A and B are shown apart, each in its own frame.
Chain A
Amino acid sequence: MIQFNNVTKVYQSGDKEVKAVNRVNLSVEKGEICVLIGPSGCGKTTLLRMVNRMIEATEGLIEVNGENIQSLDSIQLRRSIGYVIQQTGLFPNMTIEQNVSVVPRLLGWDRVKIQHRYNELMDMMGLDPDEYRNRYPWELSGGQQQRIGVARALAADPPVMLMDEPFGALDPVIREHLQNEFLRIQKTVKKTILFVSHDIDEAIRLGDAIAIFNAGELMQYGTPNEILSNPRNEFVSQFVGSDRTLKRLNLLTVDDLLQRVAAVRQKKQKSYKEACGGSTVRRDSDLRNALSVLLSSPTGAAAVVDEEGNAFGNITIADFERLVEVHPAQLKSIVQ
């Protein structure tokens, strides 16, 4: 769907040539989210912006839907690709409805169709279309603005989306919420997405594939699981961190593990609390905390309690083995 063949970008800096992107080969499948990640200046944003020709590649070939982007008119190309940036880039002189309808208007859709699309998108974003129609971007919170930014990019239903750290400027709680929303929306719209991030947790959580860059070169490209379990070189393993396995646990809750375990565990025990020597974990706590409880439990097991403190199951350290080779997105209850 998106294909990079030997793509290179050279910047002239005084007499020196700086290779911002160096011979990158990458292929993103239809309907997948590919997260481009790496330290600042690694070329991830440059690579992203070459897809809609905001930056022209010095060498190499980029294909979108099998078409060489150089053979297309850059304006038409950009209108056919969704684009979301970090600081939202909403137009302050336009209302929310006008902002969302920018690309359909450029494409000359008729009024009724545009309005219909606006309502549809706002419903999808979980925002009331009529409440926001005539409001201006500054009246909205950062999280709401970013949702409008995503709605605007989706407006003309482009098959491909480019997202440059869309959730980077938000606080952790809102960011997590929007990431979940984003995954929920992606399930229905199934866009091919290039997503720039500097946050490995975000990459693991959102990416079907992750491409790790350093100094303009592609270090490793694979599924989150491949990258976490099998970092190809020193740089990648340092970048994902030596606590990479624990990081994965942060993304899962006790409930997720319990569902996984329940499939193989037949009989129900009568008194979970007694069997576990009094250690308990809440069903909605993350697995990293749960592991900590288990390690300090004398029996190596803990009872799982619901919000009222009633035990309804148990987990042991051995249960954690079931999580090996599982992508968090397959387990995570997406809508919270």
Chain B
Amino acid sequence: MELLEFFQQHWGEMLAKTLEHIQLVGLAVGLSILIGVPFGIYISQKERLANLVLAVAGVIMTIPSIALFGIMIPILSIINHGIGFLPAFCALVLYSQLPIIRNTYVAVKNVDANIRDAAKGMGMTTRERLIRVEIPMALPVIMAGVRMAVILTIGIAAIAAYIGAGGLGDYISRGISTSYTTMVQAGALSVSVLALGSDFLLGQIQRWISPRTADSK
């Protein structure tokens, strides 16, 4: 009941915080796609580089988020953006690299060897093969990576409230420091709803772009 009252009293502010959250995640994942997808495609053609890149991206994933935010602060302080939107944004871009690069790499790599062979044998250049055949076929798996990245960053962005990035995490951090349980619950609940909602939406997009096959009938 208390929770309901909280939502009733603060709905305007909550909406603004949610939009802030979406903005942070959206911009971070957006940039991540622009970096990660071309990069994933590039390394799918360069086997040696692939192992190195995937290892580095894997290491970044293992750094606890609060520690990564901590690392960002001194670095970005140089340009006077030690706290706030920018360090959070940078950290989220780094975190979402792994699922996006890895999925892109695996998807392009796993295109049926017969189909790649046919494309080559028809006289397609590497570029034509990627654009006309391999990327369209890899798209559903790439999209799955984007979906994973979005869910991941929605959660991590909540923690970014500690370095002043705003968003729904504010309720959680403020609630904890003031021992206001309802506020923590409201924050946590809205973060989960946002994550589930985005997952559903992106799932629909993923289904829509998947080439129709015999099993999806």
Residues of A that sit less than 8 Å from B by CB: 52, 54, 75-80, 83, 85-94, 102-103, 106, 136, 138, 152, 162
Interface status of B125 (Cβ within 8 A of chain A): yes
Contacts of A90 in B (CB 8 A): 115, 118
Interface status of B13 (Cβ within 8 A of chain A): no
Most buried by B among A78, A91, A138: A91
Q: Is the beta-carbon distance between B122 and A79 smaller than 8 angstroms? A: yes
Interface status of B1 (Cβ within 8 A of chain A): no
Interface status of B119 (Cβ within 8 A of chain A): yes
Q: Is the beta-carbon distance between B214 and A138 smaller than 8 angstroms? A: yes
- Closest partner residue, chain A, to B212 (CB atom): A136
Q: Which of B132-179 contact A (CB under 8 A)?
A: 132-133, 136-137
**Given A93-B133, A93-B136, is A106 in contact with B123 using a C-beta cutoff of 8 Å?**
yes
Contacts of B125 in A (CB 8 A): 75
Contact partner, A92, options B121, B122, B128, B137, Cβ 8 Å: B137
Contact partner, A85, options B117, B128, B136, B213, Cβ 8 Å: B117
Contacts of B38 in A (CB 8 A): none
Q: Given the complex of chains A and B, what is the CA–CA distance between A79 and B118 in angstroms? A: 12
Q: Given the complex of chains A and B, what is the CA–CA distance between A67 and B202 in angstroms? A: 53
Q: Is the beta-carbon distance between B119 and A103 smaller than 8 angstroms? A: no
Q: Is the beta-carbon distance between A92 and B213 smaller than 8 angstroms? A: yes
Contact with A along B41-64 (1 / 0, CB 8 A): 000000000000000000000000
Contacts of A89 in B (CB 8 A): 114-115, 117-119, 121
Residues of B that sit less than 8 Å from A by CB: 114-115, 117-125, 128, 132-133, 136-137, 211-214
Q: Is the beta-carbon distance between B114 and A87 smaller than 8 angstroms? A: yes
- Closest partner residue, chain B, to A103 (CB atom): B122
Q: Is the beta-carbon distance between B137 and A83 smaller than 8 angstroms? A: no
Smallest CB-CB A-B distances: 10 pairs: A89-B118, A79-B123, A78-B123, A83-B121, A93-B136, A87-B114, A138-B214, A93-B211, A89-B114, A138-B213
Q: Given the complex of chains A and B, what is the CA–CA distance between A254 and B29 in angstroms? A: 72
Q: Given the complex of chains A and B, what is the CA–CA distance between A88 and B114 in angstroms? A: 8
Q: Is the beta-carbon distance between B123 and A103 smaller than 8 angstroms? A: yes
* Given contact pairs A54-B120, A79-B122, A92-B137, a sample of 20 additional A-B residue pairs in the complex whose CB atoms are under 8 Å apart: A54-B117, A75-B123, A75-B124, A79-B123, A80-B123, A83-B118, A83-B122, A85-B118, A91-B115, A91-B118, A91-B119, A91-B133, A92-B115, A102-B124, A103-B122, A106-B122, A136-B212, A138-B212, A138-B213, A162-B121
Q: Given the complex of chains A and B, what is the CA–CA distance between A83 and B115 in angstroms? A: 12
CB distance from A296 to the nearest CB of B (A): 48
Q: Given the complex of chains A and B, what is the CA–CA distance between A76 and B124 in angstroms? A: 9
